[in-house]
C-alpha cells in the first residue's frame, strides 16, 4: 500500500522495485520465455500418494541435479585453450544481476565472495558429495518405504527455520519423534540438507539466467533451460524446498510465467507470483508469444 496516496502500488511500481536494469534481460521478454514442451509440469512435481515423502524428495533432488549439471558444464568446462564461458573476468563474483550476490562459507565458516567459476566448482563438489553419501541418500532397496497415511501424502509444512550454507544442521529432534524420510532410512536432518541443496541449485540457475542466458540462446538451449527451471520452481514450491524470499532474484520471471500460464492456478508457484507484473511484462513484449 502506498502510504502517501492510500492506493495499492501499480504493476509499474512493483516492477520498478525489482531494480531491473533499464535494458531488461532477454529472458524477461515473453518471446524468449518459451519451453520445449507443452503441458503441466506440476504433475511431475506432485508426490504420488503411495510414495513416502523422503523417497520423493530424494528423487527430486537427484533428478533436478541431473538436469542442472548439463547447463553448468556448458559454461564451466574448459575448452582446449583453457578458456570457459564462465570465468573470473566475466563473472568476478557469484551474482544474479546487480542486486543479488551469493557468498560461500570459508573453512572458518566466514561468508566470502568468490568468482562464479569457483562457486560453480564448489557447488558441484558439495551437491555431488551429498548425493553420493549413502548416509544421507541411502540406496539400499530394502529401505524404500511407502506412505500409509495422509501425513506422508502431502508436502512438508514450512518450519519457519532459517538456514545458512553450513553443512546440514542438526535439528535436535526429541527421541522417538518422526521426520521426513525416517522410515526409508534418511537421517533426521535430511530435509534440511535437501533444502540447502535446492537453494544452491536455485542460485546457480539465477546466475545462469542473469549472466549466461545469451550463451544458452546462442546454443539454442534457452527453451531447454526454461523447461528445466520452471519444473524446478514448481517442485521447490510444491515440496517447500525453497522459501518465497529465496526466489527473489528470479521473481520477475516467476511473475511472467504465471501470467503466461506456465504455472497453473492453485500451484504454490502461481501463488508466489505477482500477476499484475507478469501481465505488464507480457504487454511490454507486445503480447503473448506465438507458438
pLDDT (0 to 100) of residue 164: 35
pTM for this entry: 0.85
Q: Are 232 and 269 in contact (CB under 8 A)?
A: no
pLDDT (0 to 100) of residue 163: 31
pLDDT (0 to 100) of residue 6: 62
pLDDT (0 to 100) of residue 8: 82
pLDDT (0 to 100) of residue 46: 82
Cα–Cα distance for residue pair 165/25, rounded to 1 Å: 28
Instruction: Tell me the three state secondary structure of residue 105.
Output: strand
H helix intervals, the chain: 11-17, 42-45, 53-76, 116-132, 190-218, 222-238, 251-260, 268-271, 275-284
pLDDT tens for residues 126-152?
Answer: 999 999 999 999 865 444 444 443 333
Cα–Cα distance for residue pair 113/103, rounded to 1 Å: 5
Cα–Cα distance for residue pair 72/208, rounded to 1 Å: 8
Residues of the chain with pLDDT under 50: 1-2, 141-174
Cα–Cα distance for residue pair 121/97, rounded to 1 Å: 20
Tell whether residue 207 is among the known ligand binding residues. yes
84 grid coordinates: 570457459
174 grid coordinates: 526429541
Tell whether residue 86 is among the known ligand binding residues. yes
Tell whether residue 212 is among the known ligand binding residues. yes
Tell whether residue 228 is among the known ligand binding residues. no
Torsion, Cα of 255, 224, 32, 248 (10° steps): 30
pLDDT (0 to 100) of residue 85: 97
Task: Compute CA 59 distance to the chain's CA centroid, rounded to the nearest angstrom.
Answer: 15
pLDDT (0 to 100) of residue 214: 96
H or E stretch including 111?
strand 111-112
Cα–Cα distance for residue pair 63/179, rounded to 1 Å: 22
Q: Are 262 and 232 in contact (CB under 8 A)?
A: no
Amino acid at each position: 500500500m502506498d502510504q502517501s496516496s492510500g492506493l495499492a502500488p501499480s504493476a509499474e511500481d512493483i516492477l520498478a522495485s525489482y531494480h531491473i536494469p533499464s535494458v531488461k534481460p532477454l529472458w524477461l521478454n515473453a518471446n524468449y520465455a518459451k519451453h520445449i514442451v507443452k503441458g503441466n509440469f506440476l504433475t511431475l512435481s506432485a508426490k504420488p500418494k503411495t510414495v513416502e515423502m523422503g523417497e520423493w524428495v530424494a528423487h527430486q533432488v537427484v533428478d533436478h541435479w541431473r538436469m542442472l549439471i548439463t547447463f553448468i558444464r556448458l559454461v564451466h568446462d574448459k575448452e582446449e585453450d583453457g578458456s570457459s564461458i564462465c570465468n573470473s573476468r566475466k563473472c568476478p563474483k557469484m551474482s544474479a544481476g546487480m542486486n543479488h550476490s551469493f557468498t560461500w562459507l570459508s573453512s572458518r565458516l566466514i561468508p566470502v565472495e568468490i568468482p562464479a567459476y569457483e562457486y560453480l566448482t564448489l557447488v558441484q563438489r558439495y551437491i555431488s558429495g551429498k548425493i553420493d553419501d549413502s548416509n544421507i541418500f541411502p540406496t539400499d532397496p530394502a529401505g524404500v518405504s511407502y506412505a500409509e497415511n495422509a501425513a506422508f501424502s502431502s508436502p512438508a509444512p514450512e518450519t519457519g527455520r532459517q538456514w545458512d550454507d553450513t553443512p546440514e544442521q542438526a535439528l535436535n529432534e526429541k527421541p522417538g519423534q518422526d521426520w521426513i524420510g525416517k522410515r526409508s532410512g534418511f537421517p533426521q536432518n535430511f530435509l534440511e540438507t535437501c533444502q540447502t541443496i535446492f537453494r544452491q541449485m536455485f542460485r546457480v540457475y539465477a546466475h545462469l539466467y542473469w549472466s549466461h542466458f545469451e550463451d544458452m540462446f546462442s546454443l539454442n538451449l534457452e527453451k531447454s533451460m526454461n523447461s528445466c527451471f520452471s519444473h524446478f520452481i514448481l517442485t521447490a514450491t510444491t515440496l517447500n524446498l525453497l522459501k518465497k524470499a529465496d526466489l527473489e532474484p528470479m521473481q520477475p520471471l516467476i511473475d511472467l510465467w504465471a501470467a503466461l500460464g506456465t504455472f497453473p492456478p492453485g500451484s504454490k508457484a502461481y501463488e508466489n507470483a505477482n500477476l499484475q507484473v507478469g501481465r505488464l511484462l507480457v504487454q511490454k513484449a507486445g503480447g503473448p508469444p506465438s507458438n
